[in-house]
Structure 1
Amino acid sequence: MNSLALPRLALTAGEPAGVGPELLIRLAATPLAANFIAITDRGLLERAAERCGVDVRLLDDDGADIQQRPSGTLRVRHVALDVPELPGQPDPRNAHHVLATLREAADGCLSGRYAAVVTAPLQKSSINDAGIPFSGHTEFFAEHSHADVVMMLASPELRVALATTHLPLRAVSAAIDAPSLERTLRIVHQALRSKFGLAQPRIALLGLNPHAGESGHIGHEEIDTIIPVMDTLRREGMQLLGPMPADTAFVPAQREHYDAVLAMYHDQALPVLKSEAFDRTVNITLGLPFIRTSVDHGTALDLAGTGKADPSSLIAAARMALDLVARSKSS
C-alpha cells in the first residue's frame, strides 16, 4: 500500500434490523481520515441513509488506495441480504449474511486487504435461532483466526480486560483455571506494550469472590488459582496488583496505581466502565493477528429505523482502530 494512502478500514454492519447500518452511514458522514469499506448489502445502506436523512455517496470498492476521502463517501463490498430487513425485527434468515460479512472482514485483514476491522453490533440470538451456535464477535474471530484472544473494553480513562466473556455466571469459576488465566495475562501484558505503548504495564486483577475471597472465608479461587498465577508471572517481571476486591478497585485512589484491570467475568467491571463512558468506550479484541475494534453497545432494536441512534461509540471505535494502525506502523 502507498505510504500516503489512507488506511483501509473494513466496517461490518452487524444485525441488519438493528442500528448498525445507520451507524455506518453516520460514520461515513464524518471527516475521519480513513478509507472506509462497508462490508454489507448496498441496498441496506441506501435505506439506512434515507432513514437518517443523510446524503452519502456509495461507491463500489475496487481495492484502490486513496489519499483522501471526502466526508459523505463510503465504499461498499456488497454482500447480499437473504431477505429484506425490517428495522427492529431481526430475521434469522439473515444469519448467513451476517456471518459472511464477518468472514470477509477477517479474511481481508489476514490477507492485508484491510488494515483493521470495525464492527457494529449484531444480534447473537438471531444467529442462534437460525441453528448456528454463536457466542459473539470475539469468539468468532478467535476461531476463524486460530488465535487465543482476550476481550478488552477501553475508554480514555480506563481499560478493562476479561478473563471470561459470554458465560453463564454458574460456569465462570470452572472456566478460570491456571493455564487460561496465565495465557490471558500474557496476552493483555503484550497488548499493553505493543498496542498502547506501555513499556512496563501495571495490571490489577480483581478477585472472583466478594472481598477477593477474604483469605478463603468467601471462596478459595483466589488462593488456589489467581494468586499462584500472579506469583509466577511476577517472578518474570510483570507488575501485577491484587487480587483486589471489585467493589473498591475503581475508586480514584486505586486507579492511579494501574494501567488496566483484568476482571474475572463480564458483568464484574463493565458496568463501571459503561456507566461513566458509554459513548466513548471501545471494544478491542486482543491477541488476534489483526486489529479489531467495536462499539460497546448492542443492536438497540427500539431505535432501529428511526435514524436517531448515537454513533459516538462507533466513531470512537474507528478512531481507536486508526490509532492502533498508526502505532503498528511505527513500531
Structure 2
Amino acid sequence: MKPVIGITMGDAAGVGPEIIVKALAHQETYDLCKPVVIGDSSILERAINILGYSFKVNIVKAVQEAKFKHGVIDIVDLNLFESNLEFGKVSAQSGAAAFKFLEKAVQLAKDKEIAAICTAPLNKEAMHLGGYKYPGHTEILADLTDTKDYSMMLSSPKLKVIHLTTHVGLRKAIDLIDPERTYKVIQLAYETLRNAGMLNPRIAVCGINPHAGENGLFGMGEEEEKLQPAIEKAAAEGVNVTGPYPADTLFFRAVRGDFDIVVACYHDQGHVPIKVLGLEEGVNITVGLNGGIIRTSVDHGTAFDIAGKGIADERSMLAALTSAAELAPKEVKK
C-alpha cells in the first residue's frame, strides 16, 4: 500500500507552495505515495496560477475525503489567510500559519490519518514574530510529540548523516556529547535504517577532533570519553558500528560505499558534506519522534528572493517525498 504523506506548506510567503505544486505535477509522486497538502487553499491556488497549471483543488475536512489523483491536489485547508500575502516578506501572519500547519500535521500523524510528514521550509524570524520561539522544525516536532531523544538525519543519494548535536554553538556541542547521547543516536540510526528495509546497516562514528584525536595527540581525550564507550556498547549488542574515524577521510569513504550512515558530532560536520554533494537532492529527516512519526523536509530555505516567480527547483521536495514514502509505515486509517 502507498503511504499517505501530509505535506505542510511552510512559510506561505516563500517558495514552499510553488515547490509543492511542482512536485505534485510529477506522476511519479502519486506512484510513490498518497499526498495531501496541509495549508491554505487560497495560497495553493495562487501558486497553481503562477505556475500555469490547470490543477483542481480539492478541499477536504478529513484525509479520508482525499482523491489522491494526479491533476487534483487534496488539501486540508486551515483557512488562515484573509488577505493577499506579499511574497518574500517576513511576517507574523505567515510565521504563525507555518506553525499551525505543522501542528495540524502532527495531530493527523498521531491519529494515524497520515503515515509521515513532509515539510516545506519555514522562516524562523517570521515564526518568532508570530509568537513561536523555536529554532526550527525539529524542535517544534519534538515539543509537539513530547520527545526528548531525537536526532536530525540528512540524506542524499550517496550519503546519509545523523547528528549528535545540531543547533548549538561548537563549544556547547562538545559539552553536550556524552556516551549516553552517542549510544542513543547510534540506536536511532540503526532502527531507522532497519525499518527502511536495511538488514545490517553499517554505521560509522565521526571523531570530534582532527584525526579523531590521534591517540591523545589532539584534543583532551574526547573520543575516548564521549564516543568510544557508546560504540563498544552498541557493537556488543550486535549493531554494526565502528569508529571513531577522522572526519577528513570518513565522508569520502561513506560516499564511496564503505558505510551506510555516518554519525556526525555537530551541525557543520554533518551538513557540509551533504550540501557539497548538492542542495537539490538533500533531505532533512527527523528521527526518534514519539509515536514513530517520520518527518522529512527539503534541505533548503524559504528563498524569499525568488518566491512568486515560478522558478523554484522542486527536486529537493521530490527527494523529501521519496524519503517519506520509503521510511513511513504503510498502514493508516482508510
Asked if Structure 1 and Structure 2 have the same fold, meaning a TM-score greater than 0.5 normalized by the shorter chain, the answer is yes
CA offset at residue 254 of structure 1?
Answer: 7.5
User: Does structure 1 conserve the Cα–Cα contact (< 8 Å) formed by 2:95 and 2:122?
Assistant: no
The 5-angstrom pairing of residues 52-201 of structure 1 reads 52-63=51-62, 65=64, 69-79=68-78, 80-81=80-81, 84-147=84-147, 148-195=149-196, 197-201=197-201
304, 320, 323: which is aligned to 1:317? Answer: 320
Distance 1:254 1:61 in 2: 43
After superposition, the Cα gap between the structure-2 partners of 1:174 and 1:82, relative to the gap in structure 1 and judged at 3 Å, is farther
CA offset at residue 256 of structure 1?
Answer: 3.0
Distance 2:85 2:9 in 1: 12
Distance 1:7 1:83 in 2: 34
Partner of 2:285: 284
Partner of 2:209: 209
Q: What SS class does the counterpart of residue 53 from structure 2 fall into?
A: coil
After superposition, the Cα gap between the structure-2 partners of 1:164 and 1:109, relative to the gap in structure 1 and judged at 3 Å, is same
Distance 2:99 2:254 in 1: 44
User: Does structure 2 conserve the Cα–Cα contact (< 8 Å) formed by 1:16 and 1:90?
Assistant: no
Which segments of 5 or more consecutive residues in structure 2 lack a partner in the other structure?
A: none
Q: What SS class does the counterpart of residue 152 from structure 1 fall into?
A: strand
Deviations 1:50-82 (A, max 9, x none): 222222211111436589744221111112137
Which segments of 5 or more consecutive residues in structure 1 lack a partner in the other structure?
A: none
Equivalent pairs, count? 324
- Aligned-residue Cα RMSD (Å) equals 2.2
19, 23, 27: which is aligned to 1:23? Answer: 19
User: Does structure 1 conserve the Cα–Cα contact (< 8 Å) formed by 2:7 and 2:36?
Assistant: yes
After superposition, the Cα gap between the structure-2 partners of 1:246 and 1:111, relative to the gap in structure 1 and judged at 3 Å, is same
User: Does structure 1 conserve the Cα–Cα contact (< 8 Å) formed by 2:151 and 2:164?
Assistant: yes
Partner of 1:46: 45
Distance 1:235 1:149 in 2: 23
3, 8, 29: which is aligned to 2:4? Answer: 8
Distance 2:256 2:204 in 1: 9
Which piece of structure 1 moves more, 300-309 or 47-56?
47-56
Instruction: Using structure 2 for the length normalisation, give the TM-score.
Output: 0.90
User: Does structure 2 conserve the Cα–Cα contact (< 8 Å) formed by 1:18 and 1:90?
Assistant: no
Partner of 1:296: 299
Q: What SS class does the counterpart of residue 154 from structure 2 fall into?
A: strand
Amino acid at match of 1:294: S
After superposition, the Cα gap between the structure-2 partners of 1:204 and 1:82, relative to the gap in structure 1 and judged at 3 Å, is farther
User: Does structure 2 conserve the Cα–Cα contact (< 8 Å) formed by 1:37 and 1:61?
Assistant: no
User: Does structure 2 conserve the Cα–Cα contact (< 8 Å) formed by 1:88 and 1:303?
Assistant: yes
Distance 1:106 1:64 in 2: 13
